Copies of this chain bind each other. A is one copy, B any other.
Amino acid sequence: MNIHKLDKYAKSLIKEAARRIKSSFATELIIESKSEANDLVTNIDKETEQFFIRHIKQDFPDHRIFGEEGFGDSLQDLKGFVWMLDPIDGTMNFIHQKKNFAISLGIYKDGVGILGYIYNVMDDDLISASLGEGAFFNDIRIPEVKQAIVEQSIIGINASWVVPNKYIEHEGMGKLLQTVRGTRSYGSAAIEISYVVTGKLDAYISMRLSPWDIAGGMVIAKEVGAIVTNLSNEPINLLQQNTFIISKPGLHKELITNYIRLK
């Protein structure tokens, strides 16, 4: 498998999927709830995943697909080529804002991320990375992320995690709030990860993300020197949901050590 060819193929699928998503704004959106009342999915999420699967299965029949909407394969391992896809990351933004959502895609070979993409559809900004070959914002090479200290940091974190909740001790999060320069919340893991790898945020923390939310971002993170772990400072397991932090290097240790206490 030629990685450059696969990269070109993946980019063309992403751009075509984005064109279809944009054109869907003219038609009616059918909104359903998934497991929780506010875990929304639309016909466009589903159609976009099916679009990817149709093409990948035709052109790479031995590749497997692990996708948010569940039309792909059920995975017990990461052997061979696996595409991890969230067709619309930030579905709530897609529905309410018609912007601030992304196509998130990571392509893994035997568990190693080889290609990663986050495409902010409405801004037409594609972040891409190839293992060992760096990361790019559209066609501009993204520099290594810089060091940061917590007092001058802007952290992506949802307000839900600073009040009492079942995942994390909120006292530590409250202390973090009082220490950092600011917090932001954009409602899309892929977009928040894209902000960290391009230096617009210093870290992003979440309590529960699925493999397809983060697989593409993890390939990009590696190429720019951003650290990704779960909130217990362990490697991410791409076969299950994870707690999640992506951060500039020095800051990662400080956040894990001094502020984050899982329940």
A residues within 8 Å of B by Cβ?
A: 37-38, 92, 96-99, 123, 151, 154, 157-160, 162-164, 170, 174, 177, 181-187, 195, 199-201
Contact = CB atoms under 8 A, between A and B. Distances in A.
26 contacts: A37-B151, A38-B181, A38-B182, A92-B154, A92-B181, A92-B182, A96-B201, A97-B200, A99-B200, A123-B123, A157-B159, A158-B159, A158-B183, A159-B159, A159-B162, A160-B177, A162-B162, A163-B163, A163-B170, A163-B174, A163-B177, A164-B174, A182-B187, A184-B186, A185-B185, A186-B186
A112 B184 CA distance: 33
Given A184-B187, A186-B184, A96 B154 contact: yes
Nearest to A185: B185
A154 B159 CA distance: 12
A174 B99 CA distance: 27
A56 B177 CA distance: 40
A99 to B, nearest CB: 7
A243 B131 CA distance: 49
A97 B123 CA distance: 15
A159 B177 contact: yes
B162 A96 contact: no
Max chain B C-beta neighbours (<10 A), residue from A37, A157, A170, A177: A177
A168 to B, nearest CB: 13
Contact of A185 (B97, B184, B195): B184
Nearest to A96: B154
A94 to B, nearest CB: 11
A165 to B, nearest CB: 10
Q: Which of A96, A159, A170 has the most CB of B within 10 A?
A: A159
A118 to B, nearest CB: 16
Contact of A163 (B97, B162, B181): B162
